């Protein structure tokens, strides 16, 4: 495990099972501020479960999590106030518009809605949602609803962002815009944890890449190791596949 001084998130010995199936098996993880960490793995490796447990969306069967020094078990509200999590199918209210979701988000997080308005407009423009901002979610396509959830995540401006398959359903232009937003937030000191299966997108933004296999971290590549691939997505894919398959 990579040791990090003053991590935004610290997890130790995480276990999670569904019935008799153990999905997480003693995961230890520290996340650095101002760093993009990408979790890769085969379907069923536990990527989404890991993010849900870290975000407090699922209760771990064992282990401990602290977010910005706040115990997720002992002080869940304080811990979760420091993060924003976007699932693959975010639970947006179908009758509310993106603007109304943004207003509710600001009220919940104690943000000034008037001051957040220019940022909302900037984010919707970046992801080409200007014409959809006042449409109810049920009128949006799946891809547009996913982009709406991403807009809300960036609007929240939490010190820790967790995004599960954020590139899913995005066209090339939106994927590039998302990359720019991720890099921008990293430069502002935000820690981002992404679950993904895209090698090229990972190499483009990641400071660190983890491969999850059978509920454990099988490979942990730091920035120097990622730079050694020199943008060669195929070579990176082979390294990731080797870690997924194991010895």
pLDDT value of position 2: 65
pLDDT value of position 199: 82
Q: Say yes or no to pLDDT of 3 above 70.
A: no
The rounded distance, in Å, linking the Cα atoms of 138 and 34 is: 35
pLDDT value of position 43: 86
How many C-beta atoms lie closer than 10 Å to residue 42's C-beta? 16
Q: Which domains does the chain have, with CATH numbers?
A: 1-82+160-173+193-247 (3.40.50.300), 90-157 (no CATH)
Give the three-class secondary structure for 48: helix
How many C-beta atoms lie closer than 10 Å to residue 134's C-beta? 10
Summarize pLDDT for 46-61 with one digit per residue, the tens.
999 999 999 999 999 9
Summarize pLDDT for 228-245 with one digit per residue, the tens.
999 899 999 999 999 998
Q: How confident is the model at residue 201 (pLDDT cuts 50, 70, 90)?
A: confident
């Amino acid at each position: 495990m990579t040791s990090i001084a003053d991590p935004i998130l610290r997890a130790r010995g995480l276990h999670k099972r569904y019935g008799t199936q153990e999905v997480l098996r003693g995961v230890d993880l520290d996340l650095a501020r101002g760093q993009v960490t990408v979790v890769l793995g085969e379907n069923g490796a536990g990527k989404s479960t890991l993010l849900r447990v870290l975000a407090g969306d699922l209760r771990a069967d064992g282990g401990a999590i602290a977010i910005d020094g706040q115990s997720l078990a002992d002080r869940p509200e304080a811990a979760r106030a420091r993060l924003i999590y976007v699932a693959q199918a975010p639970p947006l209210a179908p009758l509310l518009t993106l603007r109304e979701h943004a207003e509710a988000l600001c009220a919940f997080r104690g943000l000034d809605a008037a001051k957040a308005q220019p940022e909302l407009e900037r984010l919707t423009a970046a992801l080409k949602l200007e014409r959809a901002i006042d449409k109810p979610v049920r009128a949006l396509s799946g891809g547009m609803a996913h982009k709406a959830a991403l807009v809300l995540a960036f609007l929240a401006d939490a010190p820790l962002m967790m995004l599960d398959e954020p590139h899913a359903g995005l066209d090339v232009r939106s994927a590039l815009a998302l990359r720019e937003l991720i890099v921008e937030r990293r430069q502002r000191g935000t820690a981002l944890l992404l679950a993904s299966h895209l090698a090229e997108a990972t190499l483009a933004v990641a400071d660190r890449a983890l491969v999850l296999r059978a509920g454990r971290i099988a490979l942990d590549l730091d920035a120097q190791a990622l730079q050694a691939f020199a943008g060669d997505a195929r070579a990176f894919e082979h390294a990731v596949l080797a870690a997924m398959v194991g010895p």
